[in-house]
């Protein structure tokens, strides 16, 4: 008999806590649909008390998703729990996840509470959450640095109060696999009512051990893992969903549990998250990196040709890598376009949105003969992000880059609908173009990151650019895609300016 390992995805909540990774409501719904298609068991959609935007996004995900449980995060406070309950109303299956810190340093320095007060508040929170749903998760935050006796005490009490999942977070990524596994084992064996709840883990990657710690916990009885696509998350990130799922699946000789995940949806979902957040996947990233299944050395290539299992422990197609498929061209019609988009899991809220995206497709097909699935996906990412709040818009540009000459950019943009012209020199064409924008807008932002990724292969591929800007401590990412890299860069810069100009009042759950 193999147990079920519950996959709890927190890309939309902890993933969104990565600086610059904030997502719009539409973007969250698109990612949630992709997670549902992948058969993720629980989707943590956000922290509704953080802001009106977060509330709306959780509500939209709760209404849209039918096959996965939708979860909302709440501190152990009445108002947080009630807001989470409201946001989840109407969900096919809902869960409230409430938490309070239990480590000495957090209780004393952050909460200014005694251990007895923490226990009391945890119990009260779980009871209140049970009024909204019978599916309640409790996390003792910073459990990885909490005292074992105290953890046992709190957990026993919250299970009695009605918690059905107990999640053990290594909030600061401090644990190491052997010790974290032992912690889970001790909790499950020592807590008298442990059998009434599912034990879960939530590991951060500060020491690069999030996946190893999670898997060690699974070997010691944890039956839920909290993880994110591409390992996105606060600071160094969370355990990567794709690595957990494929670790358990590939090593069935070691794990006595299985997930229900459709692994062929891993790569498309990874790409979707990367293009929406602008967080590129490093080429050597396990499972979803561009080189994850590429063999460079002659000896390896020779071995794989003779028998793929000589050097491959997984098949690329099993995790959703397929040869780039040329799906459409310049002569494809609207119906074919819509059908292919549906096959990719992309639907349109309105005829207007379909028409706008179809128009972009036609523009792209004029510039690029072969349109791949990835190109189609980038069209949607673009049309949704641009529809957020387009204060800055590129009208035209001219960039000169010539051997021995200083690069110069001249461009026309609209700012709130009013045309403005900028001109600047720079150390390269992109630098000149960004300076030309700044000569118009003087945004007082600081460029923190500039990265270019090729969406497909070939020199006619679209370049997908991410620009990260910072102003007054606030960090945003902007994206742009185009067959011309300088144009993609300008679009990404303007998109980042749009995002940083939008008001944001948002509480962080753990502060
Ligand atoms: O890392 C953490 O402790 C969390 C909790 C809210 C579960 O994200
Ligand atoms: Zn976390």
Tell me which ligand sits closest to the C-alpha of residue 80: 1
> Do 3-277 and 392-501 have matching folds?
no
21-33: b (≥16 Cβ within 10 Å) or e: bbbbbbbbbbbbb
CA angle 153-156-159, nearest 5°?
145
Q: If you take atom 1 of ligand 1, which residue's CA is the nearest one?
A: 171
Instruction: Tell which atom from ligand 1 comes closest to the C-alpha of 73.
Output: 6
Tell me which ligand sits closest to the C-alpha of residue 511: 1
Q: Separation of 180 CA from ligand 1 center, angstroms?
A: 16
**Of 96, 104, 148, 149, residue with least CA distance to 125:** 96
Assign domain 392-501 to its CATH superfamily. Answer: Alpha-isopropylmalate synthase LeuA, regulatory domain (3.30.160.270)
Overall fold of domain 3-277: TIM Barrel (3.20.20)
Q: Separation of 372 CA from ligand 2 center, angstroms?
A: 35
Tell me which ligand sits closest to the C-alpha of residue 238: 2
CB-based burial label for 425 (10 Å; 0-12, 13-18, 19+): middle
Tens digit of pLDDT at every position of the chain (511 positions)? 689 999 999 999 999 999 888 888 988 999 999 999 999 999 999 999 999 999 999 999 999 999 999 999 999 999 999 999 999 999 999 999 999 999 999 999 999 999 999 999 999 999 999 999 999 999 999 999 999 999 999 999 999 999 999 999 999 999 999 999 999 999 999 999 999 999 999 999 999 999 999 999 999 999 999 999 999 999 999 999 999 999 999 999 999 999 999 999 999 999 899 988 888 898 899 999 988 988 766 777 777 777 888 888 999 999 998 754 556 888 888 888 888 888 777 778 788 889 989 998 999 988 887 788 778 877 876 554 444 568 999 999 999 999 999 999 999 999 999 999 999 999 999 999 999 999 999 999 999 999 898 877 778 888 889 999 999 988 888 889 899 999 999 999 999 999 899 877 778 898 8
Strand partners, 315: none
Q: Separation of 447 CA from ligand 2 center, angstroms?
A: 27
Q: Separation of 235 CA from ligand 1 center, angstroms?
A: 12
What residue segments make up the domains of the chain, in order of their start?
Answer: 3-277, 292-322, 334-386, 392-501
CA distance 272 to 35: 10
Q: Separation of 281 CA from ligand 2 center, angstroms?
A: 20
CA distance 269 to 32: 10
Residues with CB under 6 A from ligand 1: 14, 99, 139, 141, 167, 169, 171, 202, 204, 509
Residues lining ion ligand 2 (Cβ < 5 A) are 14
Q: If you take atom 4 of ligand 1, which residue's CA is the nearest one?
A: 171
Pocket probe mutation, ligand 1, options 72, 139, 174, max atoms within 8 Å of Cβ = 139
């Amino acid at each position: 008999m193999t147990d079920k390992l519950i996959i709890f995805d927190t890309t939309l909540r902890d993933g969104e806590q990565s600086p610059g990774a904030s997502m719009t409501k539409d973007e969250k719904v698109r990612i949630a649909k992709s997670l549902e298609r992948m058969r993720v068991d629980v989707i943590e959609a956000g922290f509704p008390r953080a802001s009106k935007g977060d509330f709306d996004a959780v509500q939209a995900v709760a209404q849209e998703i039918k096959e996965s449980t939708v979860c909302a995060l709440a501190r152990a406070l009445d108002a947080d729990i009630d807001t989470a309950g409201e946001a989840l109303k109407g969900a096919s299956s809902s869960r409230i996840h409430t938490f309070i810190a239990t480590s000495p340093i957090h209780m004393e320095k952050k909460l200014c509470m005694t251990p007895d007060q923490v226990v009391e508040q945890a119990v009260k929170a779980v009871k209140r959450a049970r009024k909204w749903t019978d599916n309640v998760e409790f996390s003792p935050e910073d459990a990885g640095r909490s005292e074992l006796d105290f953890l046992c005490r709190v957990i026993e009490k919250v299970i009695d109060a009605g918690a059905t999942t107990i999640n053990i977070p290594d909030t600061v990524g401090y644990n190491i696999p052997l010790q974290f596994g032992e912690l889970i084992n001790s909790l499950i064996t020592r807590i008298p009512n442990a059998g009434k709840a599912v034990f879960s883990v939530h590991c951060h990657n500060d020491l690069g051990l999030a996946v190893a710690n999670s898997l060690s916990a699974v070997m010691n009885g944890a039956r839920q893992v909290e993880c994110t696509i591409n390992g996105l998350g606060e600071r160094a990130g969370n355990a990567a969903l794709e690595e957990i799922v494929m670790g358990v699946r590939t090593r069935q000789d070691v794990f006595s549990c299985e997930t229900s995940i459709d692994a062929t949806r891993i790569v498309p979902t990874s790409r979707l998250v990367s293009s929406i957040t602008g967080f590129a996947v490093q080429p050597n990233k396990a499972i979803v990196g561009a080189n994850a299944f590429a063999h460079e050395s002659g000896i390896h290539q020779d071995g794989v040709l003779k028998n793929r299992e000589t050097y491959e422990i997984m098949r690329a197609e099993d995790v959703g890598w397929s040869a780039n498929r040329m799906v459409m061209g310049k002569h494809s019609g609207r119906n074919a376009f819509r059908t292919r988009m549906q096959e990719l899991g992309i639907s349109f809220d309105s005829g207007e949105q379909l028409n706008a995206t179809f128009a972009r497709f036609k523009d792209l097909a004029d510039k690029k003969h072969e349109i791949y699935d990835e190109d189609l996906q980038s069209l949607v990412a673009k049309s949704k992000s641009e529809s957020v709040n387009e204060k800055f818009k590129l009208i035209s540009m001219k960039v000169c880059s010539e051997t021995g000459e200083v690069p110069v950019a001249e461009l026309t943009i609209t700012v709130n609908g009013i045309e403005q012209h900028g001109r600047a020199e720079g150390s390269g064409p992109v630098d000149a173009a960004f300076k030309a924008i700044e000569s118009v807008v003087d945004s007082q932002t600081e460029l923190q990151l500039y990265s270019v990724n090729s969406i497909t292969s070939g020199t006619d591929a679209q370049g997908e650019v991410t620009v990260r800007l910072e102003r007054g401590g606030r960090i945003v990412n902007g994206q742009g895609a185009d067959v011309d890299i300088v144009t993609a860069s300008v679009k990404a810069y303007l998109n980042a300016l749009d995002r940083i100009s939008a008001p944001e009042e948002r509480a962080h759950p753990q502060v």
